[in-house]
Structure 1
Amino acid sequence: MSKNYKQIAQDVVAGVGGAENIKNLYHCQTRLRFTLADESKADKDGLEKLDAVKKVILNGGVYQVVIGTDVAEVFDAIQPLLPDHPAAQTDGAPAQKKSAFERVIDFVAGVFQPIIPALSGAGMLKALLALLVVFKLVDSTSQTYAIFNFFADAVFYFLPILLAFTEAQKLKCNPILAAAVAGIMMHPNWGAMVAAGEPVRFFDLIPFHLVSYTGTVIPIILVVFVQAYVEKALNRIIPKSVNLVFVPMLTFLVMGTLALAVLGPIGSVVGEYLALVFNFLAENASWAPAVLIGGLLPLMVMFGLHNGVAPLGVMQMAELGYDSIFGPGCVCSNIAQGVAALVVSLRTKNTKERQVATSGGITALMGITEPVLYGVNLPKKYPLISAMIGGACGGLYAGLTHTHRFATGSSGLPAILLYIGDDTMMYFYNIIIALVITAVVTAIVTYILSLKFEKTEEN
């Protein structure tokens, strides 16, 4: 890709209908995600002809422009082109109707995607600490271990506060108030009351259920969902002159009470049932999640469904301390796509395809697959089929051996460190074997299919 990000930004903005057509913009690891006032003004074909753009996808009312690993630089270059446009917010353009399923996926993605960098950083710290312990460079009873551990654990311990903030942004309520309500649920004094085990009644009337909320997911999602409506109602009712004082005060009072008396306990029960489901899968069908994710993840990425599945791994980790739902299958799938592309780079006679397949294949091995998915594997089809077969085979081994990761992070080769934990290297060895199976099966199938398809393309 050209590194003239300013020009790329101008071309992309023009392609989506101009700055005045952009209502909202954010990005994930590889995609610019636009909310447009009028999608008919966007030029999908024109955008896809740009060298910097791999693919354009419309999913859940979000106009997604796949850039690749340079997405953050392009995003930064677009920002100066986007002054506030009040007309873009209220121009009367018809809202894009979403199905209930699309709304759920969009909501889950909006809540969890912003915290992925923090989860990844913490996960790699946990993996590094596990390595230091395994190789006896750090004693697990030392102060160094304790300090290192809370460096890595802080993100997971305070996960409700992070989720409260991102969910509030998604629901367009005050993220600081939401984070503060999460703080109420995690206050040390409440933790002490839970530990004491004695009945707690607010005003000697309202019973508070003794539940600890540190590191949980479902309770705070329920709480902030309700808070969004409470806060908006208070803003409508309370006069503007005293709004700044009384809305936060009443929000804390109402939501603190609801959180500890009703919503938090309900969320805790839901989390417990989720844990039962995860345990059932682990004991009775451990192969299923890893095979499905390993084989079907490329299709999920194409339709944006991975955004709804990946958080299940975070939830499982919050409940059980490990993830076997998403992580093993995901890393197998990503390695499979990378290997398939690298085989294509050796088999194709097209110079440009070889360059894209080589660079994209290496990037995929590091965990970012969209450039090679849309640039090579999907257009040529046979590498995508090969990668799905190889990813499923590797996932099958990982599932049958109950392989799981102990932290959330990258899903490329660096992710194998996340499988060190529980004072054993067993899961680490198993994920390496799973990836070897993935790579070998993918390479063989890709090569066999290339004998037909690459030969056909040359004629």
Structure 2
Amino acid sequence: MSSNYTELAASIVRLIGGKENVSEARHCQTRLRFILKDESLADDDAIKALDGVINVLHSSGQLQIVIGPHVHNVFEEVEPLVGNLTNQPTGKAAETDEKKNASELVIDFVSAVFQPIIPALSGAGMVKAVMALLVVFNLIDNKSQTYTMLNIFADGVFYFLPMLLAFTEAKKLKCNPILAAGVAAMMLHPNWTALVSAGDPVSFFGFIPFTLASYGSSVIPIILVVFVQSYVEKFLDRVIPKAVNLVFVPMLTFLVMGTLAFSVLGPIGAVIGGWLAQFFTFLSTNAAWAPAVLIGGLLPIMVMFGIHNGVAPLGVMQMSQLGYDSIFGPGCVVSNMCQATAGAIVAWRTRSKKTREIATTGAVTAYMGITEPILYGVNLPKKYPLICAMIGGACGGLYAGLTQTHRFATGSSGLPAILLYIGDDSMACFFNIIIAILIGVAVTAVLTFFASAKFEKDDAEKTEA
């Protein structure tokens, strides 16, 4: 690992108050996220000045340090420096949840559950895109064994999505993730699937009815199940003597949660999932333009406040219900391309060598789907590129929405993501997302170019003065 990451990690830990001040540390795609015992000990200005740090934010009771796409390299060096990451928060950090409002709690929960599975969804999505390309160009037949196996490669993640969600949710709720995945496995067991297909009533011990519902690729049922399991498991762990804890806690957890999953919680989740499917269908039929316009125009603001972490999973839920995502994906990819374009225009027009370097590298990264470097490094500080990108994103999003463009798999939202719009043995959504991106990029480029004539000149005059 690079010595630069080692030095950066050591400096960050020192400037946030040392390992003694860290209650929890993790990372997402671009940020280090710390829960500190005392946030006042963190020197934000000194952290921002570090080479390799883009910005420092305080949100949802966390200190968030924006690093960029190589954040996992930095975290690998941070992790051994802060020691035990499973410590329960103390001091101010212990009061974090109490200080959060309801929306912050929901966003934090949804983010912790869905973000860790994004790489798996992205990989599976790209396999689906490759599979669709092979069919479109007649390289394989959609009835061949090769097609069947490729479909298994891609659909495995989506079918067993409840197990992945069970694991990540259990980690968030601090219960046993293996037991949670075990309960999810019960709900996906082929024997249960066979009972559902048969359609005959199922009762447990002759008097507890089990509702016939299929849980493959579902989202809501397992979220409800693991939420309840976190309380059941902790209760059992507290009341069962430690000498027999290892045997009886897992056994009773499986018995209790298996019963609740098939009789109450799973069916409730299935009903809620059905309502969501109806809502998504209504939205795509009657107001298909709205989500793409809102996401295309407002995504940068959502990213700044972390709201996107609560909205993006709606696309995953829609995909699990309908097989495609029209809520988040189209607007997101258009917005990202517009932000990248605004940064590229700034790199071309600015007279500042430092700004040109930041804008160039940030634009390239944004074209690949990671926008935070260009957002915090150029577009937000200068303001006018951000506004131009948001207008362009809304225009491109409007076209995507009006043409009911959707992606058939979840993945990153950079240029490679346009392959995710190939599906249903058709190239229609693929061509439409390209047109939407071109509209957004053209509007952004023109607005940013003309705005730069004023703002870059003013910046140059201030620098010379």
- Which residues in structure 2 correspond to 1:79-90 (within 5 Å)? 79-84=79-84, 89-90=89-90
User: Is 1:47 matched up with 2:47?
Assistant: yes
Moved more, 136-145 or 161-170: 136-145
Q: Distance in 1 between matches of 2:125 and 2:82?
A: 35
SS in 2 for 1:322: coil
CA displacement at 1:84 relative to structure 2: 2.8
Determine which of 181, 188, 191 is the counterpart of 1:189.
191
Which residue is equivalent to 2:371?
369
Distance 2:3 2:341 in 1: 27
Q: Deviations over 1:356-404 (max 9, x none)?
A: 1011001101100000100000000000001100111000000000000
Cα drift, residue 11 of structure 1: 0.9
Amino acid corresponding to residue 116 of structure 2 in structure 1:
P
Q: Distance in 2 between matches of 1:377 and 1:221?
A: 37
| CA deviation vs aligned residue, 1:184-218 (integer Å, no higher than 9, x gap) | 11101100000000000000100000000000000
Instruction: Tell me by how many angstroms 1:85 deviates.
Output: 8.0
Q: Does 2:392 align with 1:390?
A: yes
Q: Contact 2:23/2:93 (CA < 8 Å) preserved in 1?
A: no
Match of 2:17 in 1: 17
Matched, 1:428 2:424: no
In 1, Cα distance between equivalents of 2:299 and 2:249: 44
Question: 1:48-87, aligned counterparts within 5 Å?
Answer: 48-84=48-84
Go from structure 1 to structure 2 and tell me whether the alpha carbon gap of 1:245 and 1:138 turns closer, same or farther (over 3 Å shift): same
Match of 1:364, SS state, is helix
Q: Distance in 1 between matches of 2:407 and 2:196?
A: 30
CA displacement at 1:82 relative to structure 2:
2.0
Flag the 1:412–1:3 CA change in 2: closer, same or farther, 3 A.
Answer: farther
**Corresponding residue of 1:342:** 344
Partner SS state of residue 73, structure 2: helix
Per the TM alignment, residue 20 of structure 1 is displaced from its structure 2 partner at its CA by 1.1
Amino acid paired to 1:148: L
Contact map agreement 2:24 2:89 (CA 8 A) in 1 = no
> Counterpart of 2:222?
220
- Find the residue that maps to 1:241 and give its secondary structure: coil
Residue number in structure 2 paired with 1:98: 100
Deviation string, structure 1 residues 68-127 (Cα, Å, up to 9, x no partner): 122111111112212238988446765221111100000000000000000000000000
Residue 358 (structure 1) aligns with: 360
Q: Work out the CA distance in 2 between the residues paired with 1:27 and 1:90.
A: 20
Relative to 1, partners in 2 of residues 1:264 and 1:69: Cα closer, same or farther, differing over 3 Å? same
The corresponding residue for 2:333 is 331
What's the secondary structure of 2:56's corresponding residue? strand
Q: Secondary structure at the match of 2:58?
A: strand
How far did residue 170 of structure 1 move?
0.2
Deviates more, 1:396-405 or 1:449-458: 449-458
- The 8 Å contact of residues 38 and 92 in structure 2, kept in 1 or not, is answered as no
- How far is the alpha carbon of 1:49 from its aligned partner? 1.5
CA distance in 1, matches of 2:335, 2:301: 11
The root-mean-square deviation of aligned C-alpha atoms, in Å, is 1.3
CA–CA separation in structure 2 for the residues paired with 1:214 and 1:85: 33
Please give the secondary structure, in 2, of the residue aligned with 1:4.
Answer: helix
* Residue 296 of structure 1: how far off its partner (Å): 0.3
Given that residues 68 and 372 in structure 2 are in contact (C-alpha distance below 8 angstroms), is that contact kept between their aligned partners in structure 1? yes
Aligned CA distance change for structure 1 residues 85 and 29 (closer, same or farther; 3 Å): closer
Number of residue-to-residue matches in the alignment: 458
TM-score scaled by length of structure 2: 0.97
Name the counterpart of 2:283. Answer: 281
Match of 1:256 in 2: 258
Residues 128, 420 of structure 2: 8 Å contact kept = yes
Q: Are residues 1:305 and 2:314 paired?
A: no
User: In structure 1, what is the Cα distance between the partners aligned to 2:142 and 2:108?
Assistant: 41
The one-letter code matched in structure 2 to 1:346 is: W
Offset of residue 219 of structure 1: 0.3
Q: Give 2:411's aligned amino acid.
A: G
Deviation (angstroms), 1:450:
0.6
Match of 1:182, SS? helix
Q: Secondary structure at the match of 2:78?
A: helix
Task: Quote the Cα distance in structure 1 between the aligned partners of 2:304 and 2:55.
Answer: 10
Q: 1:87 to 1:338 in 2, by over 3 A?
A: closer
Q: In 1, are the aligned partners of 2:368 and 2:416 still within 8 Å (CA)?
A: yes
Segments of structure 1 that go 5 or more residues without pairing to the other structure are none
SS of the residue 1:433 aligns to: helix
Instruction: Check the 8 A contact 1:171/1:225 in 2, yes or no.
Output: yes
Shift of 1:455: 1.0
State which drifts further: 277-286 or 303-312: 277-286
Q: Given that residues 15 and 42 in structure 1 are in contact (C-alpha distance below 8 angstroms), is that contact kept between their aligned partners in structure 2?
A: yes
Distance 2:438 2:414 in 1: 13
Task: Write the distance in 1 (CA, Å) between the matches of 2:88 and 2:201.
Answer: 53
- Are the structure 2 counterparts of residues 405 and 43 from structure 1 closer, same or farther at C-alpha, using a change threshold of 3 Å? same
Q: TM-score, normalised by structure 1?
A: 0.98
Alpha-carbon distance between aligned partners in 2 of 1:276 and 1:240, rounded to the nearest angstrom = 48
Percent sequence identity is 67
Q: Residue in 2 aligned with 1:231?
A: 233
Q: Quick one: distance in 2 between partners of 1:38 and 1:105?
A: 22
Q: Does 1:31 align with 2:22?
A: no
Partners in 1 of 2:179 and 2:460 — Cα distance? 62
Provide the C-alpha distance between the structure 2 equivalents of 1:281 and 1:33, rounded to a whole number of angstroms: 34
